[in-house]
Structure 1
Amino acid sequence: SMGGTTIPIAYSIAIRAENCLIQAGKLAPRPPMPLFPSLESPSTSQVPNLASIPTPRNQNSSEASTSSSSASNELQEVMKQLQNL
């Protein structure tokens, strides 16, 4: 048995890694999960315009490189944690 904490810790690390990649602009953000999947999808008039959501590409180059650098550092930390599992 691997114990009761390995899967929750691995899931947490995977989510942090995914968030780092999204912040670095290497991965597209996930669409929001529906609260009630059994209901029909909302009409397009209720969906916000994606252009209004800020992305690293909309920042100036120094801010984007700082964001990418911090995301890269955090990703390296996550990789170390994965190796320790």
Structure 2
Amino acid sequence: MSDNQYRGGPSVGGMWGCGVAALLGAPLFAVLIVGDALGDCAPDINCHKGFLSHVALPTAIAVTLIFVAVRALVGFIRRDGR
């Protein structure tokens, strides 16, 4: 099969991107969830804490950016090496 034909399955860049994003995303999630749990609001003050806005959303954004950057970097390195 030549290089310009379709090859099914995940790409090398996608696998590396997913792996690196998981390795960096899990500790980030743990730090943010601990920080969210420890950062209690003062009594009688209306504060806006939330798992979604303070833990899940920042983690999802960071993991997505890491995945895209690593995937693009691996793709660039593989194209440059040929």
TM range (shorter): 0.3 to 0.5
**What TM-score do the two structures reach when normalised by structure 2?**
0.37
Question: Highest CA radius of gyration, 1 or 2?
Answer: 2
Give 1 or 2: higher helix fraction: 2
